[in-house]
Structures are given as C-alpha cells and as structure tokens.
Structure 1
Amino acid sequence: MSDKDIVRSGAFDTRQLVSSLPQALRKLNPRDQARNPVMFVVYLGALITTVLAIIYPSVFAWVIVVWLWFTVIFAGLAEAVAEGRGRAQADSLRKVKRDTVARVLGDDGAITELPGSELRLGMRIVVEAGETIAGDGDVVEGIATVDESAITGESAPVVRESGGDRSAVTGGTVVLSDRIVVQITAEPGSTFVDRMIALVEGASRKKTPNEIALDILLTALTIIFLLAVVAIGPMQSYAGEAADPIKLIALLVCLIPTTIGALLSSIGIAGMDRLVQRNVLAMSGRAVEAAGDIDTLLMDKTGTITFGNRRATEFHPADGVELVELADVAYRCSLADDTPEGRSIIDLALSRYEVTPLDEVDVAAARSGADPRFTVVPFTAQTRMSGVDLDKNGQVSEYRKGAADAVEKWVGTLTAQVRKDVDAISTRGGTPLVVGIRTGLRRHVRRAERAERVEVLGVVELSDVVKPGMTDRFAQLRAMGIRTVMVTGDNPLTAKAIAAEAGVDDFIAQATPEDKLELIRKEQSGGRLVAMTGDGTNDAPALAQADVGLAMNTGTMAAKEAGNMVDLDSDPTKLIEVVAIGKQLLITRGALTTFSLANDLAKYFAILPAMFSAVYPQLDALNIMRLHSAESAIVSAVVFNALIIVALIPLSLKGVRYRATSAANLLRRNLLIYGLGGVVTPFIGIWLIDLLVRLLPGMG
C-alpha cells in the first residue's frame, strides 16, 4: 500500500474561493480578527493606512491600502474555505438528522409516538423493518440488519443485536429487517451526528496545545519586528529622510509571519476534515495531533491484523483413528455451533471427506434443542468445550471439541501424537481444537462404570489468516518510528507465529484488560505516546488511558465514551490511517511555518536595500533584483505577501504529502523544499511584480 493510499489529499475546487468570499468578508469583524494576533496587526495596519490615504492621498498610498485589505481578506478566505467544506459535509449530515417520529415503549408495554427531538436518556423505542432509528442507543432486545450508509457511506447492511459489542446504533440509520428495541443513550443535540456537524463546521474546534504554542511564537516574532520597524523611523529622520508611516506599516506587514498566521487555522480545520472524510469522529484537535506523535501502537489480532473468522483447514487424526471418523465426530460437535469457526468445520467435513450429513430435520433439532435426542452443550469460559450429546435408546454418546487441556481433563489423557499435532499447529500460528468422544454411556451410572469408550480422536486445525498488505503497513509504521504491539488472547505459540507473519515488533499473548492497561502505563511512563483500538466495555479503561483511543462505533457506549476518537466504519485497521493523518497535519503545519519564516527573511533582504539605497547608496549593491524604487519595492512586497496566501490555500487544505521515513529525512526534505523555496520564491515573485508595478502612474 502506498502512502497515497494511506493519506489521500482532500478535494479542492477553485470555485470554493469564490463561494467562500462572503464568509471571508464577514470575518472582517474586529472580534474575529482579534483571535489571530498576527493578522490583527495587519488589520490595524490596514485601518491606519486607510485613514492616512484619505488624508494624504496618492497612488502609492491607495495601492498599499487595497493590498493590505486583500491580505486581511485572503487570510479570512483560507479559513472560510476550510469551514465551507465542513458546512457542505454538515448539510449532508443534516439530511440524516431529520426529526423522526419514535415509538416509545413504556414500562407497561404500551407504545406511544414521540418526536425524535423529545427523546431522553433511558427511553426505549421500538424500531421495525423500514423505519428510521430516531436516536443514538443500544439494542436491548432483538436482532436486525441496519442500513448505515447515510453515516458511513458503506452500502452493505450490518447486523445489530442485543448484548455483546455490536449493539450500538446511530440515529438516522434505517432498520432493514426484523424488529429491535433500542435504549436511548444520548440527549437530543448531543448525538454523534450532532457532534459531527459541530466538528466539521468548526463550531466546536478549539486551538490545540501546538497551535497555542505556535501562536505564542508568531506573536513574539510580530512584537520583535514591530520594535524593529518602529526603530527605523528615527533612523530615517537621523539620516535626513522623512519617515513615511505608510511605508513603515507596509514594511511591518511584509516582515511579520503573515503567511503562516493566515493559514494556521485552515490547516487545523483541514486536518479534522480529513478525519471526517474517513468517517472518524475526533473529540478534539488534541487527539489528531497526538496521533501524529504516536510512539507505540497497540492492535488486537483478531479482526485487525487477521481476518476475524478463523476457518477449519485440516483434520489431524490420532493414531489408530480413521480420518473419516474424526471428520464425522467434528461435524456432530459443530451442529449447534453457529460461530464462523463451527460452520467452517461443518463445511470442511462435508466438502472434503465422506461424512454422511444428518437429515435437515435432525440438524434443525440439534440446533434448536427441540428434539430430546439431542442435548446441545454450548461453549463456556469454564469448560472451554462445546458439542452435543446424542441419546439413542438409552445409550448416550458425548461429542466434544475444545481447548487441548480442557479435552484432556474431560477424557483423562492425550496421546503423544495428539500433543505433537497441537504444538505443531500452534507453532504455525493456527488454533488447535481437540476432538473427543465418550460413547455407550448410561444415565444414572457412576462415571467409572458408565462409559464403554473414552477417546481423543484427533485435532481440528483452525487457521487465522493475516490480512493482505498488513506486513507492508507495519513496515511503514516502523519507518515512521512507531513500535507496533499485537494484543491477543491466544496462547504464546500462536501469538508468536502470527506476530512473525504480520511483521509486528512485539506481542502480548493471553492478554487481559489489566495487561493492556499495564502496558499502556509502562509505555507512557517512559515518555512515549500510545494509541490503541477497542470496542468492548473491557477495553474502556485502556482506551481512556491511551493518548489516542479509537473506539468502534459498533462497540459499547462505555468504549465510545472512553476513547477520544470514534470510527463510524468500525474498522480497527483505520488507526493506521489516523496516525498518518495526524503526521500529515503536523508536517503540513511545520512545512508552511518553515516556508513562512524563510519567506519573511527573504522579503527583508529583498526590499530593505531598495528602500534605503537613496539614503545609503552603498546598500544599492545589495539590491540584486534591481527593484526600481522604494515605492515599487514596497508595493511589490505587499502584493506578493497577499497573493502567496491565496496560492498556499490549496496546500493548507490538501496537506503536505506524508512519506513514511525517518525524522532526519523529513527535516531535510522540509528544509530543501519549503525552507529553500521560501527563500527563493519571494525574490522571483517580487521581481516579477516590480516589473508591472513600475508601469503604474507615480511608481516610475
């Protein structure tokens, strides 16, 4: 997978500039301007030069006035375009958030209709096929397929059922089949759709710590340049030249970091926007930035690194046992097993071996437990086995499959050959299920006397397949300097094999929620930032502890509340994209800051010689662009200063392309492209603009 696949550039249309212009003009409000110290200085400078141009009119004065106001407007335009893209997304989300009528289920079983806007926490609503779910909640009764395309963009329906980690539903989605009862978990105005709308519109976006720190730096630089420009006035008077306040204001605007000051807000908004495009809801900009600084990444094995459904791939009979007999017993053990693994055992037994299938009526009876001949034995955490008991004329046959140690305890012992097969399967990264049988049992007889045959028949091999491309993704993360840790409940041998195949740096086998929490705290105590994914209530403590906790939208409310990001697609591997987006945000901000500071430095050396060559002729040697005059030099610099903001708006929205490489290579690339580019571009741009400006009346 290429970097381009990981982080796709956000769409940008030049028509957005025109459509966002009215919003940019509204941002001329002094309160809006005061939020950005750098641009507020430009705003005040534009006001003062406007007054001076009215009192002392000239072509030079009015040209400066016009372009200073353009600079202020273009800065607002960058933010308005970013917000405009958010509003476009918000409009589509509002179509989802229509005021649906809910059927509220009362404590007495009675159903009353209520507008969705009046739903409150704890209420239970009934939703049937074809109806829209009126609010966020958890399924507490029933199972149904749900169309979530309005939220996730994914057309395939998903299954939502009571209990477990796939019970959460989102308001505005449509039930396609069956009937469910949903308990409301969010007040009106605080649903996920509401929060997404506020997020993409920028209404709830606060400055992140990095943005605040950069604001302080830019403010300090502005004050330094302000003091320097103020000092130039007395220097001009001492040299016998009258100080021109319009020239000094224009010089100040050109020297302070207006480029990054104008684009800083749009960079942050666009970063959040890229997450929303991928259906990830970030609770704050801090989480996005933290994703860009992640050092350690915790990922579950099942469903993230591997396909969630393990499949039976081979039967390994014990010594003296026919392969067909093992397949037949494994088939019977799985009749009432509705898990993907159980169904795959049935498919393998029927498709590859000469197993005689039971009559469909018998199969249905075995699955439902309606036939007294069949007693379904479900899997439990205590027995770690499942199977079925078949009672035929008082003779009972017990069929079991499960963990090796559990079956061993059930039958008494495992042969050396079976142990060897179990170890070999685990070493290959598979999951061994041992199959055992006890036949000829009679009820109400002591265990030592009742069984005619107790035997382990062999092992079923379940294979856990690593998803395609995961090895490349982990290699990219390693190149980013991120340590990857696979977390699994499997035994150490299986975990080791999967970790080696996937290419992760480390793994934790037989992990408990406490193990995850302990690992996160250990990493953080060493000054490292940690990210992880989760969807269950047992993941909530670790999600809350992690610096970036990506909760699945299909997960429990506890998990979603604990994390600082929610993936509406419920794709655990998306955390890799989130990390790349966070890094892209930081790199974009750093690249444009580098360009802006280099750009300001270059303008300083480009226009100062032209300004003071009349007073200090020896400075003319430094006027390498041969700018025509002080007036044309200043006008050219002010025009360039305004236009470069517009030119960089697409880059601030799309983001600088991120490549997975070392920090040293990123710094080198940043300095070569944006540092050197920031130095060279003003010289070329100001020189070309000067050629045109000198043609204006009063500039020649």
Structure 2
Amino acid sequence: MATETLQLQLSGMSCAGCAKSIERALQSCDGVTSVNVNFASEIAAVTGDGLQPKQLITAVQDAGYSAQLIDRSQSSPEDQRDDAQQLQFFKFLAAAILSLPLLYTMFGHFSWTSGIPVPALLMSPWLQLLLATPVQFIMGWQFYRGSYHALRNGAANMDVLVALGTSAAYFYSIYLAWFAPDYHPHEGLYFETSAVLITLILLGKWFEARAKGRSSSAIQKLLQLQPERALRELATGDTEEVAVADLKVGDIIHVRPGQSIPTDGKVISGESAIDESMLTGESMPVAKHDDDVVMGGTMNTTGFLRVEVKQIGAETALAKIIQIVEQAQNSKAPIQRLADRVASIFVPAVLVIAALTMLTWIVFLAPGDWRSAFEATVAVLVIACPCALGLATPTSIMAGSGRAAQAGILFKQSDVLERTQAVDTIVFDKTGTLTEGRPKLTDFGLFNQALPQATVATLVHSLEKQSEHPLAQAIVNGLVAHLGNDDGATDAPKIQQFNAHQGKGVSAKATYHDHSYQVFIGSLRLLEEQGVHVNDHAQQLLRELQTQGKTAMAIAVDGELHAYVAVADTLRSTSKEALQALRRRGLKLIMLTGDNNHTAQAIAQELGLDDVIAEVLPEDKANHIKELQATGATVAMVGDGINDAPALAVADIGIAMGTGTHVAIEAADIALMRADLNGLAQALEMSRLTVRNIRQNLFWAFAYNVIGIPIAASGLLAPWLAGGAMALSSVSVVLNALRLQRVKLNRQ
C-alpha cells in the first residue's frame, strides 16, 4: 500500500507541550509511521499506510483537542484560523469589559494612588465576585479544559499554570470574603488579579494567533494566484466559462490580456509576455510563443493566447509549489529538539519552583506573611511561558520558507533550511546549470573524402535523432542546412541496433541507399575503445575546438575516422555574477561534468572556478561527491539533468534548477524555480538569516524565563504584571520571526 500524508487542522493547543501530546496520540493510530505537529501553524502532518482520517481525528479529540482534515478544495486552514482568531478576540473583549471595573479598584490598593476616588460599590467583595466569575469560568474555561486533558494524558502544559495561578487567586479571595468578614477591602482580595490575568493572557493569545496567521501567509498568497474560472473552447470555436476544477487535459482555453492563466499548459497559438514573478521571483515578463509552456497562476500581460491544458489539479506547478512549502513549514528542524526537550519538563519544573517559592517566603523571607508568599507564588506560575519556546523555531521556519518561496526558492524540508547555511563547497553541473542548456552546432567538417559530406550529414542526423540528449538535438537542428531536405525524413537511413554509450556517445547500424554502415559518434575514448585510429592531425583539431569551450565529437563510419562536429553551449548571462557573489562568501566552487577536460577547463577559466572534475561518467558523479565529503567538506550539488539525480541525492544539500527534469527536482533538497544561479546565493542568505532568527528567538525565550521567574519569585513583580509579561513574550517571538518576511533578497 502506498505511503500517504494527511494534514489535520488543529485547535485548542496552548503550548509546545500540547503539540507533544497530540503527536503521541496520533502515533498510536493504525498505519502511522511519522507525525509532525507544528505548534505555530496548528497543523499536524501524518504520514503512513492506509491512514483513516476518522481514527486520526478521534485520537486528537480523545487527547482533548479539536481536529479536522484539511481539504483545500473546500476551505483553507487560514479560513479556519480566522474563525479561531475572531472567537479569541470576542473572549478577550468580554473579559476586558468585566475586568475594567476590577482593574480600577487597584487604585485603592496603593498609598501612592490613594488620591484617586474609588466608589465603595466597586470595593464590595460580592460585586467583585460577580464580575470575576464569568471571566474565570466562561472566558477562562479553555484553560481548565486544557489542564484537564493535559493531566489526563499524563502531561502538564501552560494551561495548568494559568488555571492553577488564577484559581488560587480567585478561590483565596472567596475564602477571605466568606470567612474573614473583618478584612480591609483594599488589602486582601485578589479577584482583580485573576480576572486581569485571564484578560491579558487572552489578549496575548489573540495577538499570537494574528501573528501566527501572518507567518503562514505565503501559502495563502499562493492559493490566491489560481483563478476559479476559465474560458474553454468548444468544437464550434465559441467559448464557455467553466470552473477550473472542471478542466481536463487536452482542453483548449483562451487567456486574454490581464487574466491569470488557469492551469499549466502549452501555447498553441498567440504571442504574449507572461509575468511569472509570483512563482519564480523573476521580475521581467517572459515572452511566450507557440509550443512554449505556461504555468497556472501566472499573469498574461499583453497578448491573446490559446493554451492546451497539460496539467490539472495536484499535478500543476503551483500545486506542487504549495505542497513543497507546506512540507517545509510542517516539518521539524533539528534545532527544535532542544526546545522540545526543555518544553517537556518545563511545567513540572515551574510547579516545583512555585512550591519552593511559597515555602521560602513562609519560612525564611517573611514568616507569617501569607499575602506576600501568595503573590510571589502566583507571579511565578503565570510568568512562566513554554509558548515562547514552542514558537521560537516553527514561526521562523514558516516565515523564512515562505519568503524564500516568494523569491522562487523552494526548501523542501525545514532541516534543509537550517543546514544550507553551513555549506562550504558547491559543485556545479555544466549543461543547463552554468550554461543555458540549449547548445548549438558550431562546426562540421570531414577528415577525408571517402564519403560525400551530404551522406555523412544524413547518417549523423538520423542517428542523433534517436537520442534525447541536448547535444544530440543541437546536432540534429544544425545539420538541417547540410541536408537536401528540410528534416532528413525523405529517403532517410534505416537505423538499427541503436546504442547510447553513457557519457561517451552513440552508435548504430544505418542502412542508406542499399548500403549498410556502422556509425559511431562521440568522444575519442569511445572511438579508441572501438579500435578506430585517430591520427595526430585529428586529435590536434579536436583539442583546438575544445580549448575554445566547445564540445567536439568525432565520427567514425565502418571503423574509419571520417568527420567531426563541435557544439557550444552559451553561458547563462547571470552565471558570472552569481559565482562572484558565492566567492565573496568564501565558498569553494567546483565544476563536475562529463565534458572533456579541455572544454571544461576553458569554461572554468572564464567563470573563475576553483576546480574542475571533467570526463566523469554519469554513474560516477555521486562517487566524486562522496570523495569531497570524505575530506570534511559540506557539499551542495547544483544540477538539472536526470544524470545529476544520484549526485543531488548524495550531496549534503541537493539543489535543482527549476527548469530541469522532474527527476532532478524530486531528488534535490532545494528547487530554484528560475534559470538564474543568483537564486543560489539568495538561498544561502535566507538560510543564514533564518537560523540567526531562530537562535535569537530561542535566546530570548530562554532568557525571558531564566530572568523572569527569579524576579517573580523575589516578590518584585505583581501577578497581573507577570501575566502581561507572559502574554507579550510569545508575541515578541512571533513578531521577531515575521521580520524574515520583509527581507530583501538582492540579486547579489
């Protein structure tokens, strides 16, 4: 049975401890192999065989939380989070209205505010009880519910701390009201403390929910790119407006100027410039003509296009980009493990510290002063916040990966986003990576006149048509001028026993004009293996072509050297600029190619590369990556072809050009959606900034608790101030992460 991944939208989590509880609950379900719960996005990614959504949802509900299967065709997780945000806001608003009178009574508690009049009615314990009770048990019910489920599951979370601290203040005040009738109203009651604490925490939760929603806005923006309707062409030539979901492969759609392209397809008529910046980050519109590929979600700017639908639904480029971004945001980075370990013991440790605080005040600091001991203990309970620890990593990952996606850089996993900044060596494939990947025939000549040039051209043309290699296609297109017809189809040779010699060339038996020829086209190595003699003059000519940066190939017919061809692939216009930016980072740059050494050295010298590994067979590329890793280097491999896939998979970081093959992109860790190596420098920069942001978040999350808890325990912090500080700690961590969304990724 095929492995699948389901996503659940969660609600009811209050801290990283809740995420761990849900992970344990889902892990116990049948068929589940791995679970990642992202506290920041409130999404659980469940991977396994034969997953049953109802069973997964029930497991989450039994753990005390809510869940529903994410179905983007029905609604988005963002819609559900918006509803949760609104509910949190209304809870805060109601709590604030009830707490404001209680907050005003605090002016009567301090000598320095004694001049501010406080109505006697507000000081009544029964009015305060009336105002505080709805806040405690209606608006604050979520904390009791969360505490119950956490304790039932053998864990403790932030809800436990909030419920314990506010309940202590609330019930202690009831005790004073009922059993201590001679108390002084301005000295004993803590109704305002419990109510204001809950109100401030609800406010913090609302801020936190809004900020978390902003950190995941990248996916929402991507979802908004695809239009809902399309104009489908009928057999009569007329059009009808249909839902994009109703389109089928092979349909013809019309795209007018100013409209978004509904789905992936191929232009069959028309010319236009397409704005692809929303998917690739490329600011300049791309010209499109007949047979060019267009992607759903991009914008048609100027001309009218008729497009044949090639991909629909989950197979479109936009859908795959969304899937990759979600995968990165919902995975767990290695740096998160420290925070998870701390969060797992955090609440029990705080409960112990609170108990010790109470004991220390009663026994040593202020014997008999229960009020001071009580306030210090409550302050410790409410200032402690595991939320900030739980949010530190995932919010940075979400913001960083989302910003990178907007620039056309797709990190497939969060650990890749973390590890990329540690790369010190980058290995480049040549064709399609450093070069355009669209080589052209530059030279074609004979070494002898035993066969007419037209005959040799026809044989080579027919043989290379059997190959899909870019160099073969360049030879086919370039030889048309030497043929007596447009495409060599008329009276074409009959090709048999075609064989592709990986990394060396091709061979076949060709029957032409009743004569059978054995033809070899490729490197000198191939001809030497076949026993073909290559004289000094031929070797010198081929070397001269190679020193010019061309790929030269010899042609042997019936065991004799007859001709040569040379193909050149132009460098990408941005390659030099991008490599300069990488060199400024102190990286070692290496080219790994199957081309002969002379050609490779000429290109490497022009680009200023540090090293060249040439004449490498496709199956040996991965071995060379391993050899570099064995020296202690952290290696990134950049490629775009099928033969690059093993090397991309072996490298510490595999980077595929988005213009490359699907195999290469699947094997890679990072996909650059535009044919521009400047994206590589941007990926390294985004990784560096994200890791730095995570470390900042973790530092402040730890520092906040390390500093705040002792201050609270010393009695220097009123409980309501501690509650406000706790609420703001999570918000500050998320706001720091959101700075990544404003990063300007320059081309250099």
TM-score over 0.5 (shorter chain):
yes
Contact 1:46 1:69 in 2 (8 A): no
Distance in 1, Cα, partners of 2:582 & 2:275? 30
SS at match of 1:486: strand
Distance in 2, Cα, partners of 1:559 & 1:601? 47
1:518 equivalenced with 2:623 (yes/no): yes
Partner residue, 2:228? 98
Find 1:473's aligned residue among 558, 561, 581: 581
Find 1:233's aligned residue among 346, 349, 358: 358
1:117 equivalenced with 2:237 (yes/no): no
Q: CA 1:489–1:198 in structure 2 vs 1: closer, same or farther (change >3 Å)?
A: closer
Q: CA 1:199–1:654 in structure 2 vs 1: closer, same or farther (change >3 Å)?
A: farther
Distance in 2, Cα, partners of 1:447 & 1:506? 36
Partner residue, 1:193? 318
TM-score (norm 2): 0.56
1:51 equivalenced with 2:165 (yes/no): no
1:62-81 equivalences in 2 (<5 Å): 62=192, 65-66=195-196, 69-71=199-201, 73-74=203-204, 77-78=207-208, 80-81=210-211
Contact 1:404 1:433 in 2 (8 A): no
SS at match of 2:595: coil
1:189-588 equivalences in 2 (<5 Å): 192-194=317-319, 196-197=321-322, 205-239=330-364, 240=367, 241-242=369-370, 244-254=373-383, 259-294=388-423, 297-309=426-438, 366-369=485-488, 416=536, 419-420=539-540, 422-423=542-543, 426=546, 430-431=549-550, 433=552, 464=571, 467-478=575-586, 484-499=589-604, 502=607, 504=609, 506-520=611-625, 531-546=636-651, 548-569=653-674, 571=676, 574-588=679-693
Q: CA 1:422–1:558 in structure 2 vs 1: closer, same or farther (change >3 Å)?
A: closer
Q: CA 1:238–1:54 in structure 2 vs 1: closer, same or farther (change >3 Å)?
A: closer
Q: CA 1:417–1:170 in structure 2 vs 1: closer, same or farther (change >3 Å)?
A: same
Q: CA 1:113–1:92 in structure 2 vs 1: closer, same or farther (change >3 Å)?
A: closer
1:595 equivalenced with 2:690 (yes/no): no
Could you tell me how far 1:145 is from its partner in structure 2?
7.8
Partner residue, 1:652? 737
Find 1:22's aligned residue among 83, 86, 103: 86
Contact 1:71 1:642 in 2 (8 A): yes
Could you tell me how far 1:87 is from its partner in structure 2?
4.0
Distance in 2, Cα, partners of 1:253 & 1:539? 55
Distance in 2, Cα, partners of 1:65 & 1:294? 52
Could you tell me how far 1:258 is from its partner in structure 2?
5.4
Contact 1:104 1:113 in 2 (8 A): no
Could you tell me how far 1:233 is from its partner in structure 2?
0.9
Q: CA 1:21–1:263 in structure 2 vs 1: closer, same or farther (change >3 Å)?
A: farther
Could you tell me how far 1:156 is from its partner in structure 2?
0.8
Distance in 2, Cα, partners of 1:547 & 1:24? 43
Contact 1:38 1:258 in 2 (8 A): no
Q: CA 1:576–1:654 in structure 2 vs 1: closer, same or farther (change >3 Å)?
A: same
Contact 1:385 1:403 in 2 (8 A): no
Higher RCO structure, 1 or 2 (CA under 8 Å, sep 6+): 1
Could you tell me how far 1:274 is from its partner in structure 2?
1.8
Contact 2:399 2:738 in 1 (8 A): yes
1:31-87 CA-to-partner distances (Å, cap 9, x unmatched) read 899999764455435653673586468797635753564356435534532423534
1:138-183 CA-to-partner distances (Å, cap 9, x unmatched) read x7x989989473644653145796xxxx98x75556897576573x
Distance in 2, Cα, partners of 1:486 & 1:605? 56
Contact 1:427 1:494 in 2 (8 A): yes
Distance in 2, Cα, partners of 1:262 & 1:411? 67
Q: Which runs of 5+ in 2 are unaligned?
A: 1-81, 92-139, 177-184, 448-452, 513-519
Distance in 2, Cα, partners of 1:544 & 1:197? 22
Partner residue, 1:695? none
Distance in 1, Cα, partners of 2:320 & 2:564? 56
Partner letter of residue 550 of structure 2?
T
Contact 1:53 1:65 in 2 (8 A): no
Q: CA 1:569–1:317 in structure 2 vs 1: closer, same or farther (change >3 Å)?
A: closer
Find 2:214's aligned residue among 75, 84, 94: 84
Distance in 1, Cα, partners of 2:146 & 2:210? 12
Distance in 1, Cα, partners of 2:439 & 2:446? 22
Distance in 1, Cα, partners of 2:609 & 2:207? 44
Contact 1:71 1:641 in 2 (8 A): yes
Q: Which deviates further from its counterpart, 248-257 or 525-534?
A: 525-534
Contact 2:329 2:414 in 1 (8 A): no
Distance in 2, Cα, partners of 1:573 & 1:418? 40
Could you tell me how far 1:232 is from its partner in structure 2?
1.5
TM-score (norm 1): 0.59
Distance in 2, Cα, partners of 1:528 & 1:104? 59
Q: Which deviates further from its counterpart, 336-345 or 600-609?
A: 336-345
Q: CA 1:468–1:376 in structure 2 vs 1: closer, same or farther (change >3 Å)?
A: farther
SS at match of 1:511: coil
Could you tell me how far 1:489 is from its partner in structure 2?
1.9
Contact 2:592 2:613 in 1 (8 A): yes
Compute the RMSD of aligned alpha carbons. Answer: 6.3
Contact 1:309 1:464 in 2 (8 A): no
Contact 2:325 2:410 in 1 (8 A): no
Q: CA 1:171–1:67 in structure 2 vs 1: closer, same or farther (change >3 Å)?
A: same
Distance in 1, Cα, partners of 2:289 & 2:643? 21
Contact 2:427 2:592 in 1 (8 A): yes
Contact 2:621 2:647 in 1 (8 A): yes
Partner letter of residue 569 of structure 1?
R
Percentage of pairs with the same residue: 22
Could you tell me how far 1:91 is from its partner in structure 2?
4.8
Q: CA 1:435–1:152 in structure 2 vs 1: closer, same or farther (change >3 Å)?
A: same
Q: Which runs of 5+ in 1 are unaligned?
A: 1-17, 106-111, 320-325, 350-357, 392-399, 439-445, 449-453, 612-629, 660-700
Distance in 2, Cα, partners of 1:236 & 1:604? 15
1:536-570 CA-to-partner distances (Å, cap 9, x unmatched) read 44444444555544445544444444445544435
SS at match of 2:250: strand
Distance in 2, Cα, partners of 1:434 & 1:575? 32
1:119-198 equivalences in 2 (<5 Å): 124-127=249-252, 130=255, 147=274, 149=276, 151-152=279-280, 154=282, 155-157=285-287, 170-172=295-297, 180=308, 182=310, 184=311, 188=313, 192-194=317-319, 196-197=321-322
Contact 2:419 2:687 in 1 (8 A): yes
Contact 1:292 1:580 in 2 (8 A): yes
1:399-426 CA-to-partner distances (Å, cap 9, x unmatched) read x998667899999876756644644564
Q: CA 1:416–1:432 in structure 2 vs 1: closer, same or farther (change >3 Å)?
A: farther
1:587-636 CA-to-partner distances (Å, cap 9, x unmatched) read 21112212332343344565655x3xxxxxxxxxxxxxxxxxx455x655
